[in-house]
Amino acid sequence: MIPIEPFDYGPVIAIFAMAAATYAMRAGGFWIMTHVPLTRRVSRMLAALPGSVIAATVLPIIARGGLAAVLAIGTAVLVMVVRRNDFLAVIAGMSVAAAARAAGL
Amino acid sequence: MKTTKSDQWSRADLELGARLALPVLPGLIAFALAVGAAAAAKGLSLLNSVLMNALVFAGASQLVALEVWPERLTIGAIAGLALVVATVNARILLITAALQPTFRDLPAWQLYPLLHITTDPAWLITMRAQRDGGSPLSIFLGASLVLVVAWMTASTAGYLFGALAGDPRRFGLDLVMPIFFATMLVPLWRGARKAIPWIAAGAVAVAVQQLFGGWYFVVAGAIAGCAIAGFIDDSD
């Protein structure tokens, strides 16, 4: 092995490798869509994507996170439906989350 | 789908994007503090930590990578880190795919830097505001600017203060991101029929998470939702 002291390039190389992997994902999705014709079906699939990503992220967290997650997320959605104010909804949800965790849920 | 020009510029929409990003900040700051503190705990230099936060710019993947950060950075270990990061960030493929119709007319010198700052909240905010008739590029940049500044500041502070960040679970801060995501479903609601893919996405994600663990459940669920949407005919 080549001695890498006093300056250690290892972390820098690792960071560049991680950055390249991440940028490949960011550019990759865009690149794929430049090669897929935007038919009605494809538009429909892309339109369903935001809600699908949210559902796929949030539901497993609720399933794992227990009652605190259910109460907090439920409260936030309810406030959003009633008031249509995302700031208020997030604050309400966070308050419930903090209270639920303080109560040991 | 409404046709909006991706290159039109609006200062009002830039400000709108910035304002819509504010509810994300408490969660993002708590998360950034944790990522910065984790980098310090693993013995990275401040410069390396800042470099990672700027160049990778994907917090969840960085946190996972730092959790498995090896003592000795061999070629194999570095390839492993890159693979872990690619896995956690695979969902970004779908996000920039969804943004392609919006940003496809941008010149390359704008597009490639713009793709680098793509995040889940900026994307969701842009999709939502675009439906209300805003300029997507201005909204995206406004939201992203707020997120980038908050991310870099808080992650650096997290590195410097290290253990002071504490356990985000104690105050429920770990739930802020899912709370924000869930509230974004409300303005996206277009009737029960359009929500069928969401239910499929959620069900598949829960199943994959229970069966396999790991980070693939978001991607698996999102692809399931997309596939279902492809088979539901337009009613409008």
User: What whole-number distance in Å separates Cα of residue A12 and Cα of residue B200?
Assistant: 41
The answer to whether the CB atoms of B183 and A51 lie below 8 A apart is no
CB contacts, 8 Å: B184 with chain A: 50, 54, 86
For the purposes of burial, counting CB atoms within 10 Å of the CB of B235, is it exposed (0-12), middle (13-18) or buried (19 or more)? exposed
CB contacts, 8 Å: A48 with chain B: 194, 197-198, 225-226, 228-229
Whole-number average pLDDT of chain B: 86
Measured between its terminal Cα atoms, the distance across chain A in Å is: 51
| A53 has pLDDT over 60 | yes
Q: Taking the CB of residue B140, how many other CB atoms lie within 10 A of it? A: 29
Residue B59, token pair as written in the block? 């917090």
pLDDT of residue B166: 57
Nearest-neighbour CA in chain B from A22: distance (Å): 6
CA dihedral B196, B199, B200, B206 (to 10 degrees): 180
Q: In a mutagenesis test of the A interface, which of B151, B179, B216 is the best target, namely the one with the most A β-carbons within 10 Å?
A: B179
pLDDT tens digits for range B134-149: 899 999 999 999 999 9
Q: Is B175 on the interface with A (CB under 8 A)?
A: yes
Of residues B183 and B214, the one with the higher pLDDT is B183
Of residues B235 and B154, the one with the higher pLDDT is B154
CA dihedral B202, B206, B212, B216 (to 10 degrees): 30
User: What whole-number distance in Å separates Cα of residue A92 and Cα of residue A83?
Assistant: 12
ipTM over 0.90: no
pLDDT tens digits for range A2-15: 444 445 688 999 99
pLDDT of residue B19: 95
Nearest-neighbour CA in chain B from A37: distance (Å): 10
pLDDT of residue B163: 54
Quote the pTM value: 0.75
pLDDT tens digits for range B51-61: 999 999 998 88
Q: Which residues contact B176 (CB under 8 A, 6 or more apart)?
A: A90, A93, A94, A97, B26, B27, B30
The CA radius of gyration of chain B, in Å to the nearest whole number, is 19
Percentage of residues in chain A with pLDDT exceeding 70? 92
pLDDT of residue A25: 95
CB contacts, 8 Å: A38 with chain B: 101
Q: Taking the CB of residue B72, how many other CB atoms lie within 10 A of it? A: 8
pLDDT tens digits for range B67-125: 778 888 888 889 888 988 888 888 898 899 999 999 999 999 999 999 999 999 999 99
The answer to whether the CB atoms of A50 and B98 lie below 8 A apart is yes
Degrees to nearest 5, angle at CA B119 with B104 and A78: 115
Residues A34 and B203: beta-carbon distance below 8 Å: no
Q: Which amino acid is at B120?
A: D
Residue that has been written with the tokens 């669920």 in this structure: B221
